[in-house]
Structure 1
Amino acid sequence: MYISIIIPTYNRLLILQKCLLALENQKITSNKIEEYEIILVDDGSTDNTLEWLAENKQQFPHLKIFQQNHQGPAAARNLGIDNAKGDTIIFIDSDLVVTENFLQAHINALVTGKKSLKSDRLFTYGWVINTCNFENPTNEPYKITDFSAAYFATGNVAIAKKWLLEAGKFDTQFQLYGWEDLELGVRLKKLNLKLIKCPEAVGYHWHPNFNLEQIPQLIEKEIQRGKMGVIFYQKHPTWNVRMMIQMTILHRLLWGILSFGGALNEETMQPLLKWLINRGQSQLALEIARIFLNWYNVKSVYAAYQELP
């Protein structure tokens, strides 16, 4: 197999360096992998990503760089697919640091799955472990909160290129944050592709410790996710999608009640969140902040839906 690893990136230079170095240090233990390339699509970064890569290109012999104006990850991944030489595509995010057997694990699972199913209608999904440890992200243990029930998510997935082309690639209507990969997953499911879990292919998803300065950006993400959720629902108007995007009366009641109709928000909860953060409980503070973050999301999805013609 010839593998093309496609990575969209936007202003993530520091963790991107670790991401790319980990991919260059892969341990290939069988002849099932003929070759691999790393296709990085810069989505209009302004943090000197391209300049740093040009200065350090000797460290990344497998790397191929493509650029686009800021259009979002859907368009970036499509650009990567269009330029990929590989018959097998692996998608990861640019804040993911993988282990040395990452590629081999995905390929082993694809080969084994094909034999077991007697079909090549499959893709593999690896583990994504969340961590705040920038110095040694791969030291983080797997936690129950790292479990994902998603059918197709681009944080750590391997799939034959032909299925992406047959499904129609990513929908570039999704220019803001959220849902472009799960929407493609709905179309892949209609092609009867089976998800094969591959826990040996581990990626460590780094994000900084939660602090109060992140709140405006997190709120904006939830607002964007609500808007993109409506596009998702327009394409696939099912109850399952409504549940996914939180456009149900259940979600409206749940987050409305928990936030006291928005009375518990980023301002009123700031003292509690600050107190928890100062005591080293930033993760707990983030989970509590999700009360008002989800309320922003629910309000956004309903507002966007009501604006439809």
Structure 2
Amino acid sequence: MQKIAETEDFASYLDQMVTLDPRLSGTACVLRAIEAAAIEMSDLISLGRLYGQLGASRGSTNTDGDVQKELDVLANDLFIDAFKGSPVAAVVSEELSEPLVLDPAGHLVVAMDPLDGSSNIDANISIGTIFSILPMIADANGPEAHFLQTGRMQLAAGFVVYGPQTSLVCAFESGPTQIFILDHRARRFIRAVSGPVVGTEYAEYAVNSSNYRYWDPPVQAFIDDCVQGTDGPLKRNYNMRWTGSLVADAYRILLRGGIFLYPGDQRTGYKDGRLRLLYEANPVAFVVERAGGRATNCVHPILDIVPSAIHARVPLVFGSSDTVELVTRYHSDPQFSAEHAPLFGKRGLMRI
């Protein structure tokens, strides 16, 4: 693919992509709709309690069983309205139990989490929108079938972070990940980082350590070794970073490296993890891989997994390639698991 010329804003970037490949015109149209909706969302979120009780419960739950917040529903409606008039045939959302058909004549489908991290709304912590754009499947048997594709089939994917800055992270099936930041004065996203590379310099891991007792032994062993720092087999001091917001942690890792883990565990309903494959794991894995990182379900690449259902869950590990690969070794090589190698005492990693 030809190198994309340096462009100033998101609209110009999309124009460049369509010029290089006219087949992307429909995808670009959907991304323009996402951009417009994200600007509106940013305005609304910035008002916080001045707008109303955005973090208040509506007394209903979403497909994940989580209590819906007022802002969850507002975000869902806002993005769906934005897709009307674009070539989106159907939408899958965390807030909808079934695919929503928009335009039967459309040739694209969108999977989204309209508002990731909504439990953080009232705490003024970064939240976001995650999206995945897929082609329709010829002769698919019903709307749901169009979404049951591997993440490798994504035409474009990304997420928006509503934080100190509103940032839009996006990647096409070809080409590097791009990061744009909203200029509120001009009401447009301006390119801030072209082709970020997930680095290996920062020794940081993001994980909810309160679930430690429920993890499988390989995950426990990896975190134990991180905690030991230079006294342990990894011979490196690590810091833990955890915001409870997937988009915030993903954004940090894109810019400075590290690793994120949300493994499956022994709690009821958590065996296959908690994050959704279609509209959380796949989009994040897509942008991370195009930034030189890696994403797995602890063992297998996320983007190779065929969804079993539109709201299927999956364990998710992503970040710096070497560290993600190390987690895979902990799962595939018994020598890395404390449970399976009790005679080794302080384990060394000379076998890597």
TM over 0.5: no
Which TM-score band (shorter chain)? under 0.3
Relative contact order: is structure 1 or structure 2 higher (C-alpha 8 Å, sep ≥ 6)?
A: 1
TM-score for both structures, normalised by structure 2: 0.25
TM-score for both structures, normalised by structure 1: 0.27
